[in-house]
A = this chain, B = another copy of it.
Amino acid sequence: MGLEILGQVAAFGGQQGVYQHSSSSTGTEMTFSVYVPPHENGSKLPVIWYLSGLTCTHANVTEKGEFRRTCSELGLIFIAPDTSPRGNGVPDDDAYDFGQGAGFYVDATEGPWSEHFQMRTYIEDELPGLIADNFPADMSRQGITGHSMGGHGALTIALHNPERFKSVSAFAPIASPLNCPWGHKALSGYLGPDRQKWRAYDACALIEDGQRVPNILVDQGMADGFLAEQLKPELLEETCKAAAQPLTLRRQHGYDHSYYFISTFMDDHLRWHAERLGR
């Protein structure tokens, strides 16, 4: 699998890179960023996956996430994929919350989306192989996190793959796409009207259906404009409590949905993951 280097720059003693490759999952060129901290030649480092939110590319967290200092301190590789396939020939929607930039980390089954919108397979199967082949990554030590739509992605992908991810966290995740307008629109569009099929892409439903991870850390800003209608952390809290799924939900007063919120708590999340990944 070939990897094109779009950019590599020095930062915090390591290297921030942006890469592109031809994806067999999406049938498009896909872009992602990887930060590799300073490390001894030949050593392999644990990996943190960061899944971004609606409208984002790899660039938002790469520029504004403030993760590099602590990744260098703790020796963590940080990977930021794109949020959907893009480009000519890829279907799109005028809305910000559907189509390009809004893949929701699902494998679409409905036309015209199913041809390219295979983001679950891309994140679960294809990109890990590319990372293992091209970076000094210890694939036996992976953690996953994400923001908003990407928080939903991190939770659902971790719940599907508890053997792969030793740690999972989220920033202001969509707690239950089955129970919010963003989720209804995306899952009906990508998967069709059968709500039973949506349950594979709903963290609360997955936990209800028996999936488990060792622990979950969630930070949620209480001044987040999407809190009441879209994010609903109380649904995750109730579901985890009923299922005895360990959850640390921190309600952060005064914080909104932006990268000012994410960057503030990024350090806590990286340390949470590092503890569980044996750093």
Contacts and interface: CB of A to CB of B under 8 A. Distances in A.
Contacts of A223: 10
Q: Is the interface of A mostly helix, strand, loop or mixed?
A: mixed
A63 B64 contact: yes
A28 to B, nearest CB: 27
A22 interface: no
B260 A10 contact: yes
Interface in A1-49: 9-13, 16
B68 A256 contact: no
Interface residues of A, number: 23
Contact of A9 (B9, B16, B256): B256
Interface in A262-279: 263-264, 267
A30 B261 CA distance: 26
A255 interface: yes
Interface string A131-144: 00000000000000
Contacts of A255: 9-10
Contact of A10 (B11, B69, B259, B261): B261
Contact of A69 (B12, B16, B66, B261): B66
Contact of A259 (B13, B63, B260, B261): B63
Contacts of A264: 10-13, 68
